[in-house]
């Protein structure tokens, strides 16, 4: 059963608000909800999701580093969508084994050459499609296609179209966002997993084909995972691979594109910043860092389990309860950042938590910003006057994965 209160100090009015807080409000009124959580209940139990949420920099950092009291980044919705056991939930030797398979291809030494031989040509090709249109919805027409193509190729899905990769991402994302639960731990909308289930079935078909290839070894993560260290003609069991591959596809496919979206939207809050970055392209990397802080794409995409009953962070945890780490909220923590709700290119240097921290830090933390940098370099070079269309509003959505749904642009 859920706890009767969110912390030892929460007021009655705050508790009533938490009891009524809906999944819809978390998704659509995210910034205001998390600002109130940081003020009134930094460690809060939210009945609508049957889980705890840590919303401040200090709490997210403490939990992420406390491997004894908070283990494995998993939750019921992770298990329902991804399966088990996956890299977010693994610990110890199993976690190290999975990371040793995933991480090498996503280290700078491994991908640096690929940036110019694969990522930039993909961006240039997408730019030519935009030239023909004269205007664009940048998320669907530019940022996401480059993102999924770049990440898909690193994983080894070179034969899978960008449209299919985008559909996989959106299907998996809709599944992870479908985490409304009752107090007994039952999902309120079982049909909401349909798109994710379809994506997972298609992914398995592609991986089955890779495993059965007559010339299987390529430079992709999946190929190395299947074949490295195995006897001739044998692969590792696919069931061992698939849950972590689902994690990589969901987190990886969206990160570069949504980093671009957050940055472009942030620059458009002040036209002088947009002009500066367009004219001084060496500022693009700095602009991306601030974009990732301002709207973190993986806002609350990771979680931990309370290993045992404890009250170390102010919550009355019961063993194995889910605790979501709202890194996107931590990145707007007023005790860490001045004027955190503003996009500020000249902000004093301060690390962000958009890729998490500790042993479960995102494997793509180095790769994603470089893909985003190239995408923005090519966009500004091709269309110096590119800007948001003032006749279209921009909707930023989500508290698990967060970003602008559309960016209508003109030039």
Closest CA to 176 of 302, 52, 60, 85: 302
Greater confidence (311 vs 353) lies with: 353
Q: Residues 153, 136: contact at Cβ < 8 Å?
A: no
Closest CA to 329 of 122, 37, 49, 68: 37
pLDDT in tens, 272-302: 999 999 999 999 999 999 999 999 999 998 8
Residue with tokens 């296609």: 145
Tokens for 347, please give them.
């902000």
pLDDT in tens, 370-404: 999 999 999 999 999 999 999 999 999 999 999 99
Residue with tokens 């069931």: 239
> pTM of the prediction?
0.93
The CA distances from residue 201 to 126, 159, 197, 208, in Å, are: 28, 17, 6, 11
Map 314-353 to HEC letters. CCCECCCCEEEECHHHHCCCCCCCCCCCCCCCCCCCCCCC
- Calculate mean pLDDT across residues 244-265: 93
pLDDT in tens, 207-249: 998 887 655 556 678 888 888 878 887 888 888 889 999 999 9
pLDDT of residue 41: 95
pLDDT of residue 215: 54
Greater confidence (363 vs 225) lies with: 363
CB hemisphere CA count around 63 (13 angstroms): 35
Look up residue 192 and give its DSSP letter. G
CB atoms within 10 A of CB 16: 10
The CA distances from residue 139 to 197, 263, 268, in Å, are: 24, 12, 15
Whether residue 2 is contained in a domain is answered as no
- Calculate mean pLDDT across residues 120-131: 94
Tokens for 223, please give them.
């190929």
pLDDT band at 251 (very low <50, low <70, confident <90, very high): confident
Q: How far is CA 388 from the centre of its chain?
A: 24
- Calculate mean pLDDT across residues 200-205: 96
The rounded percent of the chain whose pLDDT value lies above 90 is 73
Greater confidence (171 vs 251) lies with: 171
Mean pLDDT of the chain: 91
pLDDT of residue 176: 93
CB atoms within 10 A of CB 88: 23
CA dist., res. 304 & res. 72, Å (int): 5
Greater confidence (251 vs 1) lies with: 251
Whether residue 13 is contained in a domain is answered as no
- Calculate mean pLDDT across residues 355-360: 92
Whether residue 79 is contained in a domain is answered as yes
Whether residue 12 is contained in a domain is answered as no
The rounded percent of the chain whose pLDDT value lies above 70 is 96
Whether residue 398 is contained in a domain is answered as yes
pLDDT of residue 2: 47
Q: Residues 340, 332: contact at Cβ < 8 Å?
A: yes
- Calculate mean pLDDT across residues 200-211: 92
Per the structure, the count of domains in the chain is 1
Look up residue 90 and give its DSSP letter. -
Tokens for 125, please give them.
């090709």
- Please determine, for residue 133, whether its predicted confidence score (pLDDT) is greater than 90: no
Contacts of 8 (CB under 8 A, 6+ apart): 311, 314, 316
Instruction: For residue 365, give its domain range.
Output: 20-410
pLDDT in tens, 13-54: 999 999 999 999 999 999 999 999 999 999 999 999 999 999
Residue with tokens 């059963």: 1
Q: If 0-12 CB within 10 Å is exposed, 13-18 middle and 19+ buried, where does residue 397 land? A: middle
CATH number, position 122: 1.10.630.10
DSSP H helix total and E strand total for the chain = 18, 10
Tokens for 204, please give them.
């398995």
CA dist., res. 258 & res. 252, Å (int): 10
CA dist., res. 401 & res. 409, Å (int): 22
End-to-end CA distance of the chain: 55
CB atoms within 10 A of CB 129: 12
Q: Residues 303, 78: contact at Cβ < 8 Å?
A: yes
Tokens for 116, please give them.
């110019």
CA dist., res. 319 & res. 104, Å (int): 34
Whether residue 65 is contained in a domain is answered as yes
Whether residue 6 is contained in a domain is answered as no
Look up residue 230 and give its DSSP letter. P
CB hemisphere CA count around 286 (13 angstroms): 16
Q: Give 278-287's long-range contacts (Cβ < 8 A, gap of 24+).
A: 278/380, 278/384, 281/377, 281/380, 281/381, 283/345, 284/373, 284/376, 284/377, 284/380, 285/369, 285/373, 286/345, 287/263, 287/345, 287/376
Whether residue 299 is contained in a domain is answered as yes
Q: If 0-12 CB within 10 Å is exposed, 13-18 middle and 19+ buried, where does residue 338 land? A: exposed
Closest CA to 42 of 30, 51, 53: 53
């Amino acid at each position: 059963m859920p706890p009767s209160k969110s912390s030892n100090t929460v007021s009655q009015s705050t508790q009533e608000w938490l009891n009524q807080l809906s999944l819809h409000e978390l998704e659509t009124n995210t910034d205001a909800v998390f600002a109130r959580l940081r003020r009134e209940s930094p460690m809060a139990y939210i009945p609508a999701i049957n889980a705890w949420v840590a919303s401040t920099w200090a709490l997210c950092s403490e939990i992420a580093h406390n491997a004894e009291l908070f283990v494995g980044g998993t939750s019921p919705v992770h298990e329902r969508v991804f399966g088990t056991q996956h890299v977010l939930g693994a610990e110890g030797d199993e976690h190290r084994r999975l990371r040793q398979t995933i991480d090498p291809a996503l280290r700078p030494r491994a991908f640096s050459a690929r940036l110019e031989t694969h990522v930039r040509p993909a961006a240039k090709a997408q730019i030519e499609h935009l030239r023909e249109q004269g205007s664009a919805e940048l998320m669907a027409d530019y940022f996401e296609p480059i993102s999924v193509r770049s990440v898909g190729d690193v994983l080894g899905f070179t034969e899978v179209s960008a449209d299919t990769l985008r559909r996989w991402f959106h299907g998996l994302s809709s599944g992870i966002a479908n985490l409304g639960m009752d107090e007994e731990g039952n999902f309120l909308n079982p049909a909401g997993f349909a798109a994710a289930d379809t994506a997972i079935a298609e992914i398995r078909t592609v991986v089955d084909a890779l495993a059965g290839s007559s010339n299987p070894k390529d430079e992709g993560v999946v190929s190395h995972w299947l074949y490295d260290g195995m006897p001739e003609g044998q692969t590792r069991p696919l069931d061992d691979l698939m849950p972590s591959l689902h994690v990589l596809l969901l987190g990886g496919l969206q990160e570069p594109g949504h980093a671009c979206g957050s940055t472009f939207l942030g620059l458009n809050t002040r036209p002088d910043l947009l002009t500066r970055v367009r004219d001084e392209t060496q500022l693009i990397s700095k602009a991306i860092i601030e974009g990732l802080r301002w709207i973190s794409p993986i806002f609350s995409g990771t979680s931990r389990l309370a290993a045992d009953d404890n009250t170390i962070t102010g919550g009355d945890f019961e063993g194995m309860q889910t605790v979501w780490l709202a890194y996107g909220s931590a990145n707007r923590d007023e005790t860490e950042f001045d004027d955190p709700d503003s996009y500020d290119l000249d902000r004093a240097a301060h690390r962000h938590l958009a890729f998490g921290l500790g042993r479960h830090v995102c494997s793509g933390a180095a790769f994603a910003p470089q893909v985003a940098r190239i995408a923005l370099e090519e966009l500004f070079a091709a269309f110096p006057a590119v800007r948001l269309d003032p006749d279209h509003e921009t909707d930023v959505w989500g508290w698990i994965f967060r970003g602008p749904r559309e960016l209508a642009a003109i030039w």
